[in-house]
Structure 1
């Protein structure tokens, strides 16, 4: 596996790129600026002295002169006066042949006569004087600027050193900041690596600088852990419910088979056959519904069908045995012509589990089932949501399957305690999908 650099290493790498770029730009700007200033300075001096010579020597007689100096500045070894050469033979050694220069062409020359490096700017001009026009060479000693340039380079070197020191300090500060920001993340990663697969408890925010991103990361991870924990608990409860749901019809089938082998009475045999048929039907419906929940919703499952009072009564009556030895009555009321989009097997398991939960919770009183075009309400007069006994837990697990079926077909399911309305017990409210009343297709 290819190694992945750490955040500190990446920070150092990118900061180094920026530092090198800044130093390069700094040096380049200095070099380019220095050259531009030198040429601008030399050209401006040439133009100024040319204008001065044209004005001063307009009426002067320069016949027989080899050169004319223009002492307009303070004279020193590095600041010699401008000179106009009229005779090319008197040019100092090292100068180019003026005949090779074009008129008004400006040129810079550098050479080292007598082991002393000097620099000049020159320009070939026409100099009118005394009624004549002379081909002259205007020469300006630029050694003073070259000397100043060396001083400027020294100053620039000092600035560069200061810049490098500042960059080093900045790098140190940036690395410290990166360390403070990344250390909590490293601790968080180590904490996760040390957690066992069965440990789904929330993780505390690691010590160190707590940034908004780190807090969001820990919060998201803990939420994810909580969802996994809820899923596992729900799966365990669902498995318990499944075993309970299958065990009852299997016991009925086993008992019926045993009784069939001990009797030859046709009426008794027919009764046991009906018990077997009913038990196998319940198992078949339950398995079919479980398998359906694992697949996407198909159009064939959403064919509208009407709910009749007879179908609803049969579903409730199938669980009448849960009321044995209980002073409980039940009734079914259908308002209007309710229409649903759900397979018959899934609907029977859905409503059957709600009925079983109600029958298991109530000891005396009434269980009512009211159905209309908006949904179903199953109300009981039991102890309510907060007074259920552990004996009803097995049937309460069936509500997990109820919620799954409702979620699959876009229905809603809610348990409400009746204490808010001043009565006892609770009410299970099943809401039909809005789409099924508007003709839209329900999607899983």
Structure 2
């Protein structure tokens, strides 16, 4: 992984405060560096030019050399950049015994000395260059750079500390709002409102309004489910009572027996569906529902019960491949799921529908006669999705214009759930 990728991943894992500090700190460092360099360049540009002083010093030295023929006793001349000695005896004590050749000679202390012959007298003169001036210039430049860097770093650190304090104060209401959302129980009342007039307060109020609308919608849905189930139980009870009377009064014949069996199965299934949808409608599914082991034979029997009311042609189109299964599930939930999937598959094709079950995998596949049916899968799949979520089953839907496939991973349910 490259350095750039590592930096990118590090930035992605930063929180809000860290990202704010990084952004403002980088911006402050860049701005301060540019400003300091600009100030330094302006000061350097404004400093007086040394070339004029050098020119005057050279002019003065030339004048002294021209006067040497008449004034042999002239004393040494000292300038800011070099010293002029007209005779060797005028040199500093450490240099008097050294024999210098014409030209520039480097000295051990880092300075240099030039010996040349005076054109007028043909006698040697000496120019001892002072390197301390150049060294002081270099040291001054280096000190200026160090000062600039130190000032930029100090200002950046102070800015980061200020940004951290500001970010912490700015993030406090956001963190408070996050904790309110995480700990809020929608069944215990209204969402707590912040007494703020800024954007955070507006966001808090928007969250409160949204949660309130969601709560009212959920309550209406739950009330409708409870009211519908309550009202349906009465007519189901009436139908069951009258069905028992009708069953006793009907003549004993194979046709009547088949009719009675189907009606009894339908009444029992409606009662089970009411209990099942009530269980699905609860948020925490805290109502107990029986959990049983489902074998291959039990699954075959369940499918036969779901398809016995279908036409012979539809039953014939359903092919089954069931082997080696042992599921620990809620039979009612599995029954509702299979009923919706099988009816949905048979409705959208006139070809064969294949149901296969092996291990923990259940798959239902069918062709699609009309391409538009691929997008018209009905409310049955919504019920299936709700059942899978409630039972922690994993499913995958794969459909094209010509084929639809539903795959389910049946995870066992513990008896304590």
Q: Output the TM-score relative to the length of structure 1.
A: 0.39
Q: Output the TM-score relative to the length of structure 2.
A: 0.40
Structure with bigger gyration radius: 1
